[in-house]
Amino acid sequence: MNINSFNDISNTVGYSGLTLSLEEIVILRNSLIILQKENHFLNIFLWGKLLGIAKDYYISFGYRNDALHGQTYFYSTDGFVWDLLPKPNMRSRLLTPLCVSRLQGDPALVVDVYEQYANTKPFGTEVFKDHGRYFKELKEEDRLSSLVEMYNEDALIKPRGALFKRADGVVIENKVYEGLSIQDAREIKSYMHWRRPHQRWNTNLLTRYDYNYALDFLDTIDKDIPKTSWTLHIEHGTIAILRSLYWPGMTFYQKINNSEHGSLYIGYGKRNLDIPHMLHNWG
């Protein structure tokens, strides 16, 4: 969520029932403005809040030139002081999905994932066979970076037209973006993943009658599996609200016929892997 949208947070992502307190909004807004100036970011966003036992983690990111490939992430436990979030490594990517405990709120804490997983999963120790101690312990700071990466792959989104790919390949925010019409806002394919595309470049070309490569270079969320992993509602005919079933606590909003949009995640950093079972029961 852009810091300029903080004042209206209760009327946007607040529809999910999860929001930030007035004190948090004031603190985060002021500290992020400072962080943006110190790093010479063109724009800065509040990614969300990961709930821990002792302390919570606030996550933010900004970019200088490229809105897609140039993002830099930070974390804070108090909303004042921001530390650079390291990029995920092979070990953290492997072990983070196996962590069953909640985040503690201590970036320096090292947990024994081997012991956690073996005690809760049948034959869990086989996952770590022949990997040695290197693949058994995980620092919470590294776990944090992998959780952010996992979330971004699944649930960080932008509306169609909000990002523009220049001829030189640099992705920028579209200054003439005027929002989605009520008809487009009701369509799942009007929303795209804000990360490097996984689909072939011509995927949208073959499915959209109004294809424009400068706007349609990202994967649309209607290609996600299962297709019903997203919920979309139009509230009062003025705002579209999307939620991800994979990441409970994720809320995205787009004001109808307005350029304002954004998303916020407030949760425990747990991915919901029971979606097929849930959808089967609902069906």
pLDDT along the chain (283 residues), means of 10: 85 80 93 97 96 97 96 96 95 88 94 69 52 72 97 96 95 96 95 93 78 92 87 93 93 95 94 71 54
Do 65 and 35 lie in a common domain?
Answer: yes
Structure confidence at residue 17 (pLDDT)? 78
Do 268 and 167 lie in a common domain?
Answer: yes
Q: CA of 154: how far to CAs of 21, 88, 108, 127, in Å?
A: 27, 16, 27, 24
Do 96 and 160 lie in a common domain?
Answer: no
Structure confidence at residue 276 (pLDDT)? 64
Do 17 and 142 lie in a common domain?
Answer: no
Structure confidence at residue 117 (pLDDT)? 61
Do 75 and 94 lie in a common domain?
Answer: no
Domain finish residue from 133, 149, 165: 149
> What's the CA gap between 45 and 261, in Å, rounded?
12
Domain finish residue from 149, 165, 195: 149
Do 142 and 189 lie in a common domain?
Answer: no
Do 143 and 170 lie in a common domain?
Answer: no
* Cα-based angle 189, 158, 33 (whole degrees, multiple of 5): 170
Do 185 and 49 lie in a common domain?
Answer: yes
Nearest to residue 61, comparing CAs of 195, 255, 240?
Answer: 195
* Cα-based angle 49, 52, 56 (whole degrees, multiple of 5): 45
Structure confidence at residue 274 (pLDDT)? 78
Do 97 and 76 lie in a common domain?
Answer: no
In degrees to the nearest 10, what's the CA dihedral of 261, 266, 272, 277? Answer: -70
Give me the number of domains the chain comprises. Answer: 2
CB 75 within 8 A of CB 57: yes
What is the spatial order of strands in the sheet that 261-267 belongs to? 83-84, 72-76, 57-63, 43-50, 261-267, 250-255, 239-244, 230-235
Do 31 and 125 lie in a common domain?
Answer: no
Domain finish residue from 149, 174, 194: 149
Torsion angles phi and psi, residue 171, rounded to 5? -100, 130
Range of the domain at 67: 3-85+156-282
Structure confidence at residue 252 (pLDDT)? 96
Do 137 and 230 lie in a common domain?
Answer: no
Nearest to residue 58, comparing CAs of 1, 138, 137?
Answer: 1
Q: What are the start-end ranges of the H helices in 96-223?
A: 113-120, 140-155, 182-185
Q: What are the start-end ranges of the H helices in 195-245?
A: none
Structure confidence at residue 123 (pLDDT)? 46
Do 46 and 97 lie in a common domain?
Answer: no
> What's the CA gap between 115 and 26, in Å, rounded?
41
Nearest to residue 148, comparing CAs of 75, 241, 76, 81?
Answer: 75
